[in-house]
Homo-oligomer: A and B are copies of this chain.
Amino acid sequence: MDFIATLRETWRTRSSLLCVGLDPDPARFPPSFAGKADAIFEFCRAIVDATADLVCAFKPQIAHFAARRAEYQLERLVAHIHARHPGVPVILDAKRGDIGSTASHYAEEAFARYGADAVTVNPYMGRDSVMPYLQWAGKGVILLCRTSNAGGDDLQNLEVGGEKLYERVARLVADEWNENGQCALVVGATYPAEIARVRALVGDMPLLVPGIGAQGGDIAATVAAGQTADGCGLMLNSSRAILYAGEGEDFADKARAAALATRDAINACRRG
């Protein structure tokens, strides 16, 4: 699938800007999962099946799998999403970044091994560290721009020649790296004014926005700042607030209810 084209189609047909982040934490799974060898896959599959019609994308976060030797469960999870929920793109949240010869291995990991439709990438090492991902036709490459954590200020808000470093990153990606229309940016919901600034710099490029839900970002301010003229342009990610909306065996129902409420709260703020 072509990630960006699929995403735009999904925004229209599903009327959802919600991205559900899959950050599995076995300590928060309901009791029935205890001791199961494939608990991480089964938990995430239940979340996926309960919410797929409400989302524009799923975003598994690879550290949550890698810390627990659960790479194979991640492979199964992405395959399950593609098989059972065609048309819903999968973003592998990996934030990789390395020189070209190594980046090509990370691209292979994300796109060939896991079958992801897009991957998050760190821009600190520059253009040639990003090209190996872009060589995979149709795959999405989502560059970190302005992250949702407090420490993001340390570098991203530094002044570089009359603009902030994150603005320079946004311009580099929009004006130089996005030759084939595969790029998107990460901009945290904790800074709506900066979402608006990025939107002004990058036209209708998709923005992946973490930080609503558990991290406290404001949905109305985020949508107002980041939506495109047609009320799209955003993947608003929520992970923990949806995955752990319930603590009991009805966790999937609770997750669905939370996803529905979040999707609708987002839609209520969108341009008609």
Chain A residues packing against B (C-beta within 8 Å): 23, 61, 63-64, 66-67, 69, 71, 95-103, 105-106, 108-109, 112-113, 122-130, 144, 147-156, 158-161, 165, 168-169, 172, 210
A186 to chain B, nearest CB (A): 10
Residue of B nearest to A100 (CB): B149
B165 touches A160 (CB 8 A): yes
Complex Cα gap A71–B165 (Å) = 35
B124 touches A156 (CB 8 A): yes
Residue of B nearest to A153 (CB): B126
A166 to chain B, nearest CB (A): 10
Listed by A's residue number, 10 A-B pairs whose Cβ atoms lie within 8 Å are A23-B102, A66-B113, A67-B113, A124-B156, A126-B150, A126-B152, A126-B153, A128-B151, A129-B147, A159-B160
Complex Cα gap A112–B69 (Å) = 11
**Which of B23, B105, B128 is A63 in contact with, Cβ under 8 Å?**
B105
**Which of B66, B129, B154 is A149 in contact with, Cβ under 8 Å?**
B129
A135 to chain B, nearest CB (A): 15
**Which of B106, B113, B127, B151 is A127 in contact with, Cβ under 8 Å?**
B151
